[in-house]
Each structure stands twice: as structure tokens, then as C-alpha cells.
Amino acid sequence: MAKPIPIGARGEARETVEFKHTLTWHHPELPPVYSTPDMIRLMETAAFHALQPYCEGDEITVGTSIHIEHRAASGIGAHIEAVAALESFDGRFYTLRVTARDDVQEIGRGTVGRAVVSIGKFAKKMENRSQ
């Protein structure tokens, strides 16, 4: 199993909002603002970066839960930064506090849950399910 992960372990992820990250991309009648699914993806990426340095062998972390508030809109060209910090763990399940900011303000916050898995064991389990 993964090396001990200290509370507070941090990860970050950044992107600039492009048209493909907007609500309009998903549905033409919606406004061209940063979509909640894209913000959550960036938060998940930051959480992955926080935990991955502690994984060993073929271990990775995968998402298990998401509790997010999207609190403000960001337009095309905005620079988004997501930060994740390990808040707690229970066995192989980890809870990370996440935030997202644009150039002006916090746009989202909440928690992301992740679990450590072996890629080999995970792939085998998925293979067995498809048979």
C-alpha cells in the first residue's frame, strides 16, 4: 500500500478557460462560462497530484466522491488554479479539501474523495466484469 501520506499534502492544477471548457460547448443556448464539470476535473487533477508522489509500484489514486460548490462564473481567457490538500484518511480512502480560483476570486470549493488502487488489480477486476 502507499507510503504514509501526511495531512496537508498538497497538489495543484492550472488551465486557461477555452471555449471547450464552457457551458456553450455542451449546449449552444447556455452562456460561455467555465463549466462545473471542467472545474471538478481540474480539482480532481489537483487531488491526484497531491497523492501520487506517495504511491508505490503500480499504485494510483482514483476518485470516489465529490462534494463541490461552484460559487462564481469565469469567462473564456480566465486563468483557473485548483488546489487540493489532504484533510483526512480512513484506511485507503482519502478526503482532500479543494478550492478553485480565477484571476479575481474563489470560484469553487468542497471536498474530493480518492482511494489508492493497484492498476494491475484494478484492470483485472474490470476485465472480469466484462466477461
Structure confidence by residue, pLDDT tens digits, 83-127: 999 999 998 899 999 999 999 999 999 999 999 999 888 788 878
Higher-pLDDT residue of 4 and 84 is 84
pLDDT band at 128 (very low <50, low <70, confident <90, very high): confident
In a domain, 1, yes or no: no
Number of domains the chain contains:
1
- Beta partners for residue 66, in sequence order: 112
Interval 56-89: pLDDT, tens: 999 999 999 999 999 999 999 999 999 999 999 9
For cell 462564473, the residue is: 73
pLDDT in the model for residue 2? 64
In a domain, 123, yes or no: yes
In a domain, 4, yes or no: no
Burial code (b: 16+ CB inside 10 Å, e: under 16) for 24-59 equals beeeeeeeebbbeebbbbbbbbbbbbbbbebbeeeb
Can you give the three-state secondary structure of 110-125, one letter per residue?
EEEEEEEEEHHHHHHH
Over range 13-37, report the average pLDDT.
Answer: 96
pLDDT in the model for residue 15? 98
pLDDT in the model for residue 5? 92
Q: Give the domain extent around 91.
A: 10-129
- 125: its cell numbers: 477486476
pLDDT in the model for residue 121? 85
In a domain, 37, yes or no: yes
In a domain, 102, yes or no: yes
Which amino acids are annotated catalytic? 36, 44, 70
CATH of the domain at 35: 3.10.129.10
pLDDT in the model for residue 72? 98
Ordered DSSP codes for the chain: -PPP--TT-EEEEEEE--GGGBHHHH-TTS-SBB-HHHHHHHHHHHHHHHHGGG--TTEEEEEEEEEEEE-S--BTT-EEEEEEEEEEEETTEEEEEEEEE-SSSEEEEEEEEEEEEEHHHHHHHHHHHT-
